[in-house]
C-alpha cells in the first residue's frame, strides 16, 4: 500500500486527535536521555580499554571503540567524535538506532551476570552530539580527480559512499527518488529514535564536505537509465534499498485498514499533525522484526487501545532483540507467538479481524483476533530494477556482490539492503558504502594510470 492508498482508505472509521498536542510531543520525543559531560566521563572510566577489543571486532564499521571511549574519559569529546566518524560517517544515527545490545555492548567484556556492559551507544551519541554542537569539521577534500561517480539512492549506503568518494577528490551526483535524502534514517526509523530532525542534520553535515550534489525525484527505469549513467559517469554505485513490501497472500488483503507498516511509518515521519493519522482501536501487527516493533509501539503511542504483535514462530526466532521486545511489552504491546495468519475477516470492505492457526501443523485449531487495523511487517523484497541489457547476478533475491561490493556488471557497485548477505542494518549499509567507495577509488586510479 502506498501513501496515496492510505489517504484513500476510509479514515472516517478511525478516531482523530486521540491525544492532545502535549501528549503527542511527549510520546514521540527522544526515548534516550543523553549523557551529560560528567556522566559520560564516569561511564567512560568504567571501560577496560581492551587490546584487540571484542566490541570493535563486532562493529560492522570497525570503529575503534576503546580508543574513542578513552578520549571521552580524557575530556577530548571532539577527538572521540573524529575517531568515530572516520570509520562511520553516520555515527550519530547509529548511536541512536543501532542494535548495540546485539553487537558491541553484547560483546563487552563487562557484560556478565555480575556486571553490565559499557553504554557504548550513549557514549558514541555524546561524542558525536558534542562535535555537531561545536561545529567541528573533520574532513577536507583531496585535489579534484577529474572523475565523476553516480550514486543511486541517498540512504545510508549511498551517502556513506558519496562522502568517502568526495574526500578522495571525486565528483559525486546522487539520484534520489524521494524529496529528502536520508533513506531509512529519514523515512523508516521510529520517530522517537530520530527526534528533532536529526536525520537531516546528519545529511547536511555529510554534504558539507562539498563535491556532492543530489538530484531528487529521480528513479532508474523511469526518468534515468543505467545506459545514461554508464555513459556520463566513470562508475556507478547502487544503494537502492528494498522497496517492495511482501504480501500475506490472503484473500481480502486489499481491504481498507490493511496497511504496510513501512508506508505508515513513512507518513508518520513526515506528517506535521500526528492527530491526522488514522489510528485503530484494535490493531494487529504481523511480523517479528524491528519494523514490527517500531510500528506496534508507535501506533500504541498514537492512542490505539489494543495492539497485538503476531509472529509465526517462537520468541527466540524473532529478529527483534529481546531488549526491543521487552520495550514493546513495557509500552503495552501484546506479543503472541506461533501465530500463522490464515485468513482475514472483512465486512463492508473493512478489516474486522485476523484468523490465525498456531503454526504447528495442518490440523491445529484456529482463532481470531479482532482488528480494525492490520499492519504487515513481514519484510521487503528488492523492487524491480530497470535492466534492458543490464542483468545483475542475484542471490536470495538480492544483488550479489563480492567483498569489495562489486556487482557482476563491470563499473557498477552496490551496497546496503539491496545486496545479498546483508543484515538490513543502517550501520552495515554505511560500511558497504565505505568499502565500495574505496574500491571505486582504486579502480579509477588504476584505470587512469
426: burial class by Cβ within 10 Å (0-12, 13-18, 19+)? Answer: buried
Q: Give residue 14's region: left, alpha or beta (phi > 0; psi -120 to 50).
A: beta
pLDDT over threshold 50, residue 273: yes
Does residue 275 sit within a domain? yes
Render the burial of 247-284: b for 16+ CB within 10 Å, e for the rest. Answer: ebebeeeebbbbbbbbbbbbbbbeeeebbebbbbbbbb
If asked whether residues 118 and 174 sit together in one domain, one would say: no
Residues 6+ apart with CB under 8 A from 190: 265, 294, 297, 298
At 1, the pLDDT band (50, 70, 90 cuts) reads very low
Q: Give residue 49's region: left, alpha or beta (phi > 0; psi -120 to 50).
A: left
pLDDT at 89: 98
pLDDT at 4: 36
Backbone angles phi, psi at 68, to 5 degrees: -75, -30
- DSSP per-residue codes, 246-287: PP---TTTTSBTEEEHHHHHHHHHH-S-GGGS-B-SEEEEE-
pLDDT over threshold 60, residue 175: yes
Does residue 140 sit within a domain? no
Q: How many residues does the chain have?
A: 449
Mean pLDDT value across residues 91-96: 97
pLDDT at 384: 72
Mean pLDDT value across residues 228-233: 95
If asked whether residues 173 and 271 sit together in one domain, one would say: no
Place of cell 525525484: 217
| Most distant CA pair in the chain, distance | 70
If asked whether residues 204 and 260 sit together in one domain, one would say: no
CATH classification at residue 114: 1.10.1060.10
If asked whether residues 258 and 367 sit together in one domain, one would say: yes
Place of cell 507498516: 261
Does residue 210 sit within a domain? yes
At 449, the pLDDT band (50, 70, 90 cuts) reads low
If asked whether residues 364 and 275 sit together in one domain, one would say: yes
Number of domains in the chain: 3
Does residue 366 sit within a domain? yes
Backbone angles phi, psi at 365, to 5 degrees: -75, 160
The rounded distance, in Å, linking the Cα atoms of 1 and 260 is 6
If asked whether residues 129 and 163 sit together in one domain, one would say: no
If asked whether residues 208 and 286 sit together in one domain, one would say: no
E strand intervals along 322-435: 334-336, 340-347, 350-357, 366-370, 373-376, 380-381, 394-395, 398-399, 412-414
The CA-based dihedral angle spanning residues 106, 95, 175, 206, taken in that order and rounded to the nearest 10 degrees: -140
Rg of the chain over Cα atoms, rounded to whole angstroms, equals 23
Does residue 17 sit within a domain? no
If asked whether residues 364 and 255 sit together in one domain, one would say: yes
pLDDT over threshold 80, residue 12: no
Does residue 438 sit within a domain? yes
Does residue 356 sit within a domain? yes
pLDDT at 364: 76
What value, to the nearest 5°, has the Cα angle with vertex 358 and ends 357 and 360? 115
pLDDT at 423: 85
> Are the C-beta atoms of residues 145 and 170 closer than 8 Å to each other?
yes
CATH classification at residue 184: 3.50.50.60
At 217, the pLDDT band (50, 70, 90 cuts) reads very high
pLDDT over threshold 60, residue 288: yes
Residues 6+ apart with CB under 8 A from 449: none
Render the burial of 340-351: b for 16+ CB within 10 Å, e for the rest. Answer: bbebbbbeeebb
Last residue of a domain, one of 339, 363, 379: 379
Question: Which pTM value belongs to this model?
Answer: 0.94
If asked whether residues 312 and 211 sit together in one domain, one would say: no
Grid coordinates representing 73 are 574519559
If asked whether residues 326 and 396 sit together in one domain, one would say: no
If asked whether residues 254 and 372 sit together in one domain, one would say: yes
Does residue 31 sit within a domain? no
The rounded distance, in Å, linking the Cα atoms of 130 and 132 is 5
Last residue of a domain, one of 347, 379, 411: 379
Domain span holding position 232: 148-243+382-448
If one counts every other C-beta atom within 10 angstroms of the C-beta of residue 221, the result is 13
Last residue of a domain, one of 350, 379, 408: 379
If asked whether residues 257 and 299 sit together in one domain, one would say: yes
Q: Compute CA distances 290 → 35, 146, 206, 297, 324, whole Å.
A: 25, 42, 26, 11, 8
If one counts every other C-beta atom within 10 angstroms of the C-beta of residue 357, the result is 19
Amino acid at each position: 500500500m502506498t501513501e496515496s492508498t492510505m489517504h484513500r482508505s476510509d479514515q472516517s472509521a478511525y478516531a482523530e486527535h486521540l491525544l492532545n498536542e502535549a501528549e503527542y510531543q511527549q510520546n514521540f520525543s527522544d526515548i534516550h536521555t543523553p549523557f551529560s559531560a560528567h556522566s559520560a566521563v564516569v561511564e567512560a572510566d568504567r571501560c577496560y580499554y581492551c587490546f584487540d577489543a571484542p566490541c570493535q571486532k563486532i562493529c560492522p564499521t570497525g570503529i575503534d571503540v576503546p580508543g574513542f571511549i578513552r578520549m571521552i574519559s580524557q575530556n577530548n569529546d571532539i577527538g572521540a567524535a573524529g575517531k568515530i566518524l572516520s570509520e562511520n560517517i553516520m555515527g550519530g544515527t547509529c548511536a541512536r538506532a543501532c542494535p548495540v545490545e546485539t553487537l558491541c555492548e553484547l560483546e563487552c567484556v563487562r557484560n556478565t551476570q555480575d556486571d553490565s556492559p559499557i553504554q557504548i551507544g550513549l557514549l558514541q551519541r555524546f561524542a558525536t552530539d558534542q562535535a555537531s554542537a561545536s561545529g567541528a569539521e573533520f574532513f577536507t577534500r583531496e585535489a579534484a580527480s577529474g572523475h565523476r561517480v553516480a550514486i543511486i539512492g541517498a540512504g545510508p549506503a549511498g551517502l556513506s559512499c558519496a562522502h568517502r568518494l568526495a574526500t578522495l577528490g571525486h565528483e559525486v551526483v546522487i539520484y534520489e527518488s524521494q524529496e529528502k535524502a536520508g533513506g531509512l534514517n529519514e523515512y523508516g526509523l521510529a520517530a522517537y529514535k530520530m527526534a528533532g530532525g536529526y536525520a537531516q542534520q546528519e545529511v547536511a553535515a555529510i554534504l558539507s564536505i562539498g563535491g556532492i550534489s543530489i538530484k531528487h525525484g529521480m528513479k532508474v527505469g523511469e526518468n534515468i537509465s543505467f545506459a545514461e549513467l554508464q555513459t556520463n559517469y566513470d562508475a556507478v554505485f547502487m544503494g537502492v534499498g528494498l522497496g517492495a513490501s511482501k504480501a500475506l497472500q490472503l484473500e481480502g488483503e486489499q481491504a481498507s485498514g490493511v496497511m504496510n507498516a513501512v508506508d505508515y511509518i513513512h507518513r508518520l515521519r513526515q506528517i506535521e499533525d500526528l492527530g491526522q493519522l488514522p489510528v485503530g482501536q484494535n490493531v494487529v501487527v504481523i511480523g517479528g522484526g524491528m519494523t514490527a516493533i517500531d510500528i506496534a509501539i508507535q501506533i500504541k503511542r498514537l492512542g490505539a487501545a489494543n495492539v497485538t504483535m503476531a509472529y509465526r514462530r517462537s520468541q527466540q526466532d524473532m529478529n527483534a532483540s529481546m531488549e526491543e521486545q521487552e520495550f514493546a511489552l513495557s509500552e503495552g504491546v501484546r506479543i503472541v507467538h506461533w501465530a500463522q495468519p490464515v485468513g482475514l475477516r472483512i465486512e463492508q470492505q473493512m478489516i474486522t479481524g485476523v484468523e490465525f492457526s498456531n503454526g504447528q501443523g495442518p490440523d491445529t485449531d484456529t482463532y481470531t483476533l479482532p482488528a480494525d487495523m492490520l499492519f504487515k511487517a513481514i519484510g521487503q523484497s528488492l523492487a524491480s530494477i530497470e535492466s534492458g541489457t543490464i542483468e545483475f547476478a542475484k542471490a536470495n533475491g538480492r544483488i550479489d556482490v563480492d567483498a569489495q561490493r562489486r556487482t557482476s556488471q563491470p563499473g557498477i557497485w552496490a551496497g546496503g539492503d539491496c545486496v545479498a548477505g546483508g543484515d538490513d542494518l543502517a550501520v552495515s549499509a554505511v560500511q558497504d558504502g565505505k568499502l565500495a567507495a574505496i574500491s571505486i577509488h582504486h579502480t579509477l586510479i588504476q584505470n587512469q594510470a
